[in-house]
């Protein structure tokens, strides 16, 4: 599993987008050590220096990571097909892939909702272009590419049945605001699915800030209107956590 350490470390060195956004937008707040409920400290090697509920937010993977997201070994390493089979989907579900990246999950999920729709949401221009091109190449008529921003998914209220994030949540620069935006976009009874590398397992060779524990994820989502409904521990290196939107 050391391949993950090497690749993620290399990508993190290139991807300073989150840190630049943080620095540009909050110099005064940083001097005071706080920003709208977040704590600002000196960044660690792979972090932004911005903390939420005791957790340092990780640097964002940039568009240079597309080849890693699309690597041929991903199914074997992560068993993404099994993960998708556990998603709470119906043929007509309307779904949002938040931080869609290259669309590795987007287009696989789209095949599971032929009468539904998948919003592929990302904030990076290069990823948006990649997704648009990939949609055309695959003729994925039920995929809509959406450009979000650092604190909003830019989806209409009560428009989706499910949202999911695959190894993304730990990189959200504004997790509190993003969770509220997702919650607003979910319909009553809607679900939020998170896949995150297992922080509890030291054998998972991912940088620590790019892993999350069930305890930490549950604490953060509970504070933002979500209830843990199920915890799947059947994947090789990731947790699969399904949260329900609280009334």
- Which pLDDT score is estimated for 174? 98
Taking the C-alpha atoms of residue 122 and residue 69, their distance in angstroms, rounded to an integer, is 14
Q: How many residues belong to the chain?
A: 247
Which pLDDT belongs to residue 13? 39
Rounded to the nearest angstrom, the gap between the alpha carbon of residue 242 and the centroid of all alpha carbons in its chain is 13
Q: Are 56 and 47 in contact (CB under 8 A)?
A: yes
Cβ neighbors of 158 (< 8 A, separation 6 or more) are 184, 185, 186, 187, 188
DSSP 244: E
pLDDT tens-digit series, residues 153-164: 999 999 999 999
Region for 53 from its dihedrals, namely left if φ exceeds 0, alpha if ψ lies in -120 to 50, beta otherwise: left
**What digits encode the pLDDT tens for the residues 180-232?**
999 999 999 999 999 999 999 999 999 999 999 999 999 999 999 999 999 99
Report the distance separating Cα 48 and Cα 56, nearest Å.
7
For 179, half-sphere exposure in the C-beta direction (CA atoms, 13 angstrom radius) is 24
Ranges of residues in the chain with a pLDDT under 50 are 1-32
pLDDT at 181: 98
**Per-residue pLDDT at 110:** 98
CA–CA separation, 145 and 154 (whole Å):
11
Q: Is 174 helix (H, G, I), strand (E, B) or coil?
A: coil
Query: Which pLDDT does position 64 carry in this prediction?
Result: 60
> Which value, to the nearest 10 degrees, does the dihedral of the CA atoms of residues 65, 69, 71, 75 take?
160
Question: What pLDDT is recorded for position 33?
Answer: 75
Token pair of 223, please? 């504070």
pLDDT at 62: 64
pLDDT of res. 65? 63
């Amino acid at each position: 599993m050391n391949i993950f350490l090497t690749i993620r470390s290399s990508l993190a060195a290139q991807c300073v987008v989150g840190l630049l956004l943080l620095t540009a937008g909050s110099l005064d707040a940083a001097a005071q050590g706080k920003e709208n409920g977040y704590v600002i400290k000196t960044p660690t090697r792979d972090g932004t220096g911005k903390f939420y509920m005791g957790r340092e937010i990780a640097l964002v993977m940039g568009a240079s990571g597309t080849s890693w997201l699309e690597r041929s070994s991903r199914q074997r390493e992560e068993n993404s097909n099994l993960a998708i089979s556990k998603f709470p989907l119906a043929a007509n579900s309307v779904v949002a892939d938040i931080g869609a990246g290259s669309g590795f999950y987007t287009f696989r999920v789209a095949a599971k909702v032929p009468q539904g729709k998948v919003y592929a949401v990302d904030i990076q221009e290069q990823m948006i272009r990649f997704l648009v091109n990939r949609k055309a190449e695959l003729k994925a008529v039920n995929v809509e590419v959406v450009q979000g921003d650092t604190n909003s998914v830019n989806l209409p209220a009560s428009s989706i049945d499910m949202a999911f994030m695959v190894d993304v949540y730990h990189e959200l620069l504004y997790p509190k605001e993003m969770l509220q935006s997702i919650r607003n976009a979910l319909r009553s009874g809607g679900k939020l699915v998170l896949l995150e590398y297992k922080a509890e397992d030291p054998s998972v060779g991912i940088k620590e800030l790019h892993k999350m524990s069930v305890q930490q994820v549950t604490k953060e989502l509970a504070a933002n209107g979500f209830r843990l409904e199920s915890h799947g521990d059947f994947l090789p290196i990731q947790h699969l956590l399904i949260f329900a939107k609280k009334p």
